[in-house]
Structure 1
Amino acid sequence: MGVIVDEQVLTCSIPPARFFKAFFVDSNNLFPKILPTVFKSIEYTEGNGGPGSIKLLSFQEGSGADVMKHRIEEMDEANLVYKFKIIEGPKMGVLDFESVSSVNKVEGAADGGCILKSVVTYNTKGDNQNAIQETIKKAKEGFVGFFQATVGHLQSNPDAYN
């Protein structure tokens, strides 16, 4: 078993609190709306979005995954911090990952926009490094796609999430 820590830093012109509200607080409503070819639905099966809540993400056919479950570890709207752990999903269980956790922090940028800092920790099992690295690459690309779609939506809808 090994540990891989992957960091991403993304920037945009959207104010931090507005971006956080859309991307993390209301992602269960927003993502299926703006990314209908990726998500069938996102719903809470336990809780209402606070720490300990379980979020079930259902993906469209052909996306490479059927469902994934996240457990929210922290939702701090005052400090713009969102932490979650993937507790069920593709490549979990007997395959390549023991666990996957994510720590996300949104900060203000000098231009009034924001900086999203994301650190994902992958606890791997087995030694299939090619499959592990490919899964991480796809996860990063997906995260960037979700980020870009959210920014585009917020830019096109200036009154949303104010």
Structure 2
Amino acid sequence: MATKIDIGITEKDRKKIADGLSHLLADSYILYLKTHNFHWNVTGPMFQTLHTMFMTQYTELWNSLDLIAERIRALGYPAPGSYKRFVELASITEEDGVPKAKDMIRQLVAGQEAVARTARQVFAVVDKANDQPTADLLTQRMEVHEKNAWMLRVLLEE
């Protein structure tokens, strides 16, 4: 029998927060996979810049997955962990082709912005529940994704 969780957040709020974090985890995982795919397959005159930038971004995303999943667990709920479940929960679609470099950048801008939006949607519940650890995690994720979107977006300017 599981021990009751008494951390000052109601079970109902913990469930809502865990559900929101599950969407964040799914978006983050799909974006990780897409970014890694593009790192492997980018070509063209921006190859070196994009290859390096994509590696930096997918490495950061990979490291964030554990933080998000462990927060879901700390709230008392199982973290989703299958491709099938991630696809069901994510607002980002997978890419199974090899787009041109500029299209890769556009997709990654959209993906970075989508993850920021997902984090922001969960924030209202987290704030109301007085859940500072999750608020801190979400704030950090929004900052990273908004900055990444900006850095990618400037590469599309003429």
TM-score (norm 1): 0.34
Whose strand fraction is larger, Structure 1's or Structure 2's?
A: 1
TM-score (norm 2): 0.34
Whose helix fraction is larger, Structure 1's or Structure 2's?
A: 2
User: Which structure would you say has the larger RCO, counting Cα contacts within 8 Å and 6 or more residues apart?
Assistant: 2
Structure number with larger C-alpha Rg: 2
